[in-house]
Amino acid sequence: MDASLSALIRSAAGTGAPTLPSSRYYGAATLPYTLANGVAVRYLARRIVPQPTIYPATQGYAVCEGDRLDNLAAKFLGDPLLYWMICDANASVDPDALTAQAGRAVLIPLSSNIPPGARNG
């Protein structure tokens, strides 16, 4: 593994790093890639967004003006870093789009337990 990527992953630098249990990339593989000049680098494997039905129970929420997904995750799931669970429950890859329009109905998973398959497809 590239030494700098390895150190970054081990240190869990930044929020949502792959080593944090709340990260959607927790447990994701790192894969090798060889550049044209022969230098090998590592990267995080692509995460396949699971089907929204992976969350067995959800509740509805009507977006209010000024809502942010991280704040909704903190309020409903107890951790702002779990915003990605709300994205998954709504089949959205754009967190900002979910709260862009006041009145939009958004599904919120009822539990902060991460179901099997939610992280890496």
Q: Are residue 30 and residue 74 in the same domain, yes or no? A: no
The torsion angle over the Cα atoms of residues 63, 89, 118 and 1, rounded to 10 degrees, is -50
| 58 neighbors 89 (Cβ within 8 angstroms) | yes
120 domain residue, yes or no: no
121 domain residue, yes or no: no
Q: In Å, what is the CA distance from 56 to each residue of 13, 85, 119? A: 32, 12, 15
Q: pTM to 2 decimals?
A: 0.65
In angstroms, rounded to a whole number, what is the distance separating the alpha carbons of residues 60 and 81? 20
Residues spanned by the domain of 78: 52-109
72 domain residue, yes or no: yes
pLDDT of residue 16: 46
Query: How many domains is the chain partitioned into structurally?
Result: 2
| 82 neighbors 23 (Cβ within 8 angstroms) | no
Question: pLDDT digits over 99-113, tens only?
Answer: 999 999 999 987 645
Question: pLDDT digits over 24-82, tens only?
Answer: 767 777 888 999 999 998 888 877 777 787 777 778 999 999 999 999 999 998 888 88
CATH number at residue 64: 3.10.350.10
- In sequence order, the 6+-apart residues with CB closer than 8 A to the CB of 89 are 52, 55, 58, 107, 108, 109
Rg (CA), the chain: 17
pLDDT of residue 31: 84
The torsion angle over the Cα atoms of residues 119, 50, 80 and 115, rounded to 10 degrees, is -60
